[in-house]
């Protein structure tokens, strides 16, 4: 050993090669055999390329069992091996994700064909490179007899039973299909199917199911489903398929079809019932390849499934035969990649963000990393359970995924890279924006800030809700204006609305004097309101219009409601423990009480009454449905009157309906009432009932 070796921090090539082989074997096992990778593909590729480079520079290090000498996956013992009639080849990958990657391929093809610059351009078929797993479907006498994975390219696994469960794969072919046909293509999972599957898995885990897990990405979910030993389970995993080529086929001399081009063969596969991606196109010359790569790259996020690149194939089958193969890769095809959708990075911090509706979301702040074509610095951890389940901690090395138009996600942590002393994440019990209590109700996954009115994050939503037509109603105070008022800092809390003068409003961008006057008038008008409207307007979680009315009727006065205990609240019609607790929590926040006081001080008033135990409720327990147009009352007014008398107003007619109040042009609800024998009355009869 030389002294430089002793002092260098880099391991000797032999040592590094051994280390890389061990790591690659470990990760290949996780990936191919267990369908549970721990590192992103991009990272695996980096390690693989490092080993390849080491072996190239030091040929004496190359061993026959090196992972670089293996073509594909390993065969899982549980499935019957299948020897492919025609080997399933791999494809040369162009990792230069820039347009130059396409030009280089075209140059290589032209050179291999001996074409001069002046010769015409080569025609290619440009396809998508689906991110799933390769499958060979064998049809004999037009019946699907075998489906096999790629395996090592020579021998794959028989997964026929699982593949038969995929609706998109024909089990039988039309009569013009040849006696022997092997269709090659990709099994994949759509992103929406993947999300739904993981949603289901999470629910199972939450319900305590053992041995269930969520999947890292659609490709792993698809691979897991294909290699499920229980085809009943495989059948529940939604898989899809795209055809992109052929294996064995009855030769023309024996009556099989003859194709001149790859495109013609794809169109024939389509005619036989196989899905072929609609983007598949003939592209002539390098310029059209580049255009395809760019066009698909720009719309990649909008595709319903993951792709990791595009594939170019020489269209003429005669030219394909002339070009042949280098080692096990065709010279006539190339995969032109896009930037990876998964990468490794580290977690710098875990922040908690508060949404417009008060929902708290833990977000991992990341060391900037280029994923799926953008630089990502934030990734959602969804909620407390998810953050715990993945056990993401500050300092961790994580896999980040950004696929489709979605928010980047932390898919997994690399436990072996965790720094010592990294602490388990816990959700804060106070809102990070306003300091109000954050609570998680029974059966809910999210924590919510209880400071609705007061919380900066919820300001816009709270103001819009307050000003809603069915709440305190401030005419003309819509989305755009609220946005302007809050963003400019003029309005921070609800009472600030009533402190706005004409001058402040008129000085807003694009605000005409006339409109400002209208808003001032609407605010003035809104001051005279009712207790139910005011209560509803406060935006207390679970307090909708009907509950607000019940509360107002029961307690008569806001101070009684603010001071009511949970037990007292439970005495109110239709108020259960969740609602009672939510009201209590709301008024336990001093700043919420402060807002109520200030609104009163600004002149917002309503009539208060006596607690309603005494008030008559002639229609208690009766259910009404309203339909059509009434002669004097609006639908809302009729509803208010009925509810004040203790009735329930439902949206649809059922056997439980006591009365249908029908006005002019009553529709299907009237017919339904007649068919069920429910009493139908008009507005006058309803008013009479209210008097009773
Ligand atoms: S052609 C001889 N076309 O990429 C060429 N492969 O190594 C054989 N893939 O595992 C492959 N989309 O499963 C071809 N449009 C496409 C493809 C595609 C995805 C996968 C294939 C294989 C890998 C190529």
Q: Which residues contact 18 (CB under 8 A, 6 or more apart)?
A: none
Contact 548 CB / ligand 1 (< 6 Å): no
User: What is the model's pLDDT at position 377?
Assistant: 95
* 245 in contact with ligand 1, CB cutoff 6 A: yes
Regions of the chain short of the pLDDT cut 70: 1-10, 32-34, 64, 69-77, 405, 612-616
Q: What is the pLDDT of residues 565-623, one digit of tens each?
A: 999 999 887 888 889 999 999 999 898 999 999 999 999 999 988 886 656 678 888 99
Q: Are 78 and 150 in contact (CB under 8 A)?
A: no
Of all protein residues, the one whose alpha carbon is nearest to atom 13 of ligand 1 is: 134
Q: By alpha-carbon position, which residue is closest to atom 7 of ligand 1?
A: 90
Task: Identify the pLDDT of residue 75.
Answer: 39
The token pair at 446 is: 């999210």
Q: Which residues, other chains included, contact 496 with Cβ-Cβ below 8 Å and sequence gap of 6+?
A: 490
Q: Which runs of consecutive H residues, i.e. helices, occur in 307-376?
A: 317-323
Closest approach atom of ligand 1 to CA 91: 7
CA pair distance 77, 453, nearest whole angstrom: 61
Token couple for 377:
């610095």
pLDDT at 32: 67
Is the distance from the beta carbon of residue 90 to the nearest atom of ligand 1 less than 6 Å?
yes
Report helix, strand or coil for 351. strand
Hey, whose CA ends up nearest to atom 9 of ligand 1?
129
Structure token digits, residue 72: 């594909």
pLDDT of 45 reads 84
User: Which pLDDT does position 55 carry in this prediction?
Assistant: 86
Rounded CA gap, 66 and 592, in Å?
67
pLDDT (tens digit per residue) in 12-56: 888 999 999 889 888 877 876 667 788 888 888 889 889 988 888
54 Cβ contact partners less than 8 Å away, ≥ 6 residues apart: 13, 16, 17, 20, 61
DSSP string, 603-665: T-B------GGGS--TTTT-EEEEESB-SS--HHHHHHHHHHTT-EEESS--TT--EEEE-BT
Q: What is the pLDDT of residue 391?
A: 93
Annotated binding site for Zn(2+): 431, 434, 455
pLDDT computed for residue 73 by the predictor: 44
- Per-residue pLDDT, 2: 39
The alpha carbon of 88 and the centre of ligand 1 are apart by a number of angstroms equal to 9
Strand partners, 399: 344, 412
The catalytic residue positions are 129
For ligand 1, say whether the CB of 89 is within 6 Å of any of its atoms.
yes
User: Quick one: which atom of ligand 1 is closest to the CA of 185?
Assistant: 13
Q: Which domains does the chain have, with CATH numbers?
A: 12-69 (1.10.287.610), 93-337 (3.30.470.30), 342-417 (2.40.50.140), 438-442+447-601 (1.10.150.20), 623-691 (3.40.50.10190)
Atom number, ligand 1, closest to the C-alpha of residue 131: 19
Pocket test for ligand 1, best of 126, 134, 150 (most atoms within 8 A of CB): 134
Show the tokens assigned to 691. 């008097």
Strand partners, 400: 343, 410
Tell me the HSE value of 60 on the side-chain side, using a 13 A CA sphere: 3
Smallest Cα–Cα separation from 431: which of 525, 359, 329? 359
Pocket flag, ligand 1, residue 87 (CB < 6 Å)? no
Helix (H, G, I), strand (E, B) or coil at 204: helix
Please indicate whether residue 247, judged by its CB atom, sits closer than 6 Å to ligand 1.
no
Structure confidence at residue 615 (pLDDT): 60
């Amino acid at each position: 050993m030389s002294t430089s070796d002793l002092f260098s921090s880099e391991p000797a090539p032999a040592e590094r090669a051994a280390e890389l082989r061990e790591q690659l074997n470990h990760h290949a096992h996780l990936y191919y055999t267990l369908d549970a990778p721990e590192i992103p593909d991009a990272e695996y590729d980096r390690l693989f390329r490092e080993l390849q480079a080491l072996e190239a520079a030091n040929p004496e290090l190359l061993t026959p069992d090196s992972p670089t000498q293996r073509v594909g996956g390993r065969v899982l013992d549980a499935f019957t091996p299948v020897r492919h009639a025609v080997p399933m080849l791999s494809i040369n990958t162009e990792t230069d994700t820039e347009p130059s990657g396409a030009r280089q391929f075209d140059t290589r093809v032209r050179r291999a064909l001996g074409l001069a610059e002046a010769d015409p351009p080569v025609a290619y078929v440009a396809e998508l490179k689906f991110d799933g797993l390769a499958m060979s479907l064998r049809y004999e006498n037009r019946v699907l007899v075998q489906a096999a994975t790629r395996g090592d390219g020579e021998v794959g696994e028989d997964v026929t039973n699982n593949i038969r469960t995929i609706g998109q794969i024909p089990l039988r072919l039309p009569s013009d299909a040849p006696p022997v046909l092997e269709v090659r293509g990709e099994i994949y999972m759509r992103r929406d199917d993947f999300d739904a599957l993981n949603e289901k898995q999470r629910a199972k885990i939450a319900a305590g199911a053992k041995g269930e897990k969520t999947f890292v990405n659609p490709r792993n979910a698809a691979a897991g489903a294909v290699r499920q030993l229980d085809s009943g389970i495989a059948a529940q995993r939604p898989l899809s398929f795209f055809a992109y080529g052929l294996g064995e086929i009855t030769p023309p001399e024996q009556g099989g079809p003859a194709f001149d081009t790859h495109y013609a063969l794809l169109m024939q596969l389509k005619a036989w019932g196989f899905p072929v991606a609609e983007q598949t196109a003939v592209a002539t010359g390098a310029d059209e390849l580049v255009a395809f790569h760019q066009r698909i790259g720009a719309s990649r996020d909008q595709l319903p499934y993951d792709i990791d690149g595009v594939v170019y194939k020489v269209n003429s089958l005669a030219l394909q035969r002339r070009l042949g193969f280098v080692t096990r890769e065709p010279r006539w095809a190339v995969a032109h990649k896009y930037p990876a959708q998964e990468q490794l990075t580290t977690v710098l911090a875990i922040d908690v963000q508060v949404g417009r509706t008060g929902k708290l979301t833990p977000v991992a702040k990341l060391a900037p990393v280029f994923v799926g074509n953008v630089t990502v610095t934030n990734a959602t951890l969804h909620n407390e359970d998810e953050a715990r389940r993945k056990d993401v901690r500050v300092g961790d090395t994580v896999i980040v995924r950004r696929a489709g138009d979605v928010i980047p996600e932390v898919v997994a942590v690399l436990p072996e890279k965790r720094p010592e002393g990294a602490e388990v994440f816990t959700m804060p019990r106070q809102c990070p924006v306003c300091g109000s209590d954050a609570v998680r109700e029974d059966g809910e996954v999210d924590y919510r800030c209880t400071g609705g009115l007061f919380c900066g994050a919820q300001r816009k939503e709270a103001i819009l809700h307050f000003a809603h037509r069915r709440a305190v109603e401030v005419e003309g105070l819509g989305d755009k204006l609220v946005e302007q008022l809050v963003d400019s800092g003029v309005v921070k809390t609800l009472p600030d609305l009533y402190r706005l003068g004409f001058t402040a409003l008129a000085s807003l961008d694009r605000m005409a004097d006339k409109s400002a006057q209208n808003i001032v008038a609407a605010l003035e008008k809104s001051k005279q309101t009712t207790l139910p409207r005011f209560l509803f307007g406060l935006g207390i979680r679970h307090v909708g219009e009907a509950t607000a009315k019940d509360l107002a009727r029961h307690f008569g006065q806001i101070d009684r409601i603010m001071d009511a205990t949970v037990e007292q609240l439970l005495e109110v019609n239709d108020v259960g423990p969740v609602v009672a607790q939510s009201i209590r929590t709301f008024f336990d926040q001093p700043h919420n009480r402060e807002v109520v006081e200030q609104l009163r001080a600004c002149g917002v008033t309503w009539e208060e009454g006596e607690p309603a135990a005494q008030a008559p409720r002639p229609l208690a327990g009766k259910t009404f449905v309203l339909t059509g147009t009434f002669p004097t009352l609006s639908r809302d007014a009729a509803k208010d009157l009925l509810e004040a008398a203790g009735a329930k107003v439902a949206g649809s007619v059922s056997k439980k309906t006591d009365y249908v109040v029908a006005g002019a042009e009553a529709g299907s609800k009237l017919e339904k009432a007649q068919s069920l024998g429910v009493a139908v009355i008009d507005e006058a009869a309803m008013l009479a009932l209210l008097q009773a």
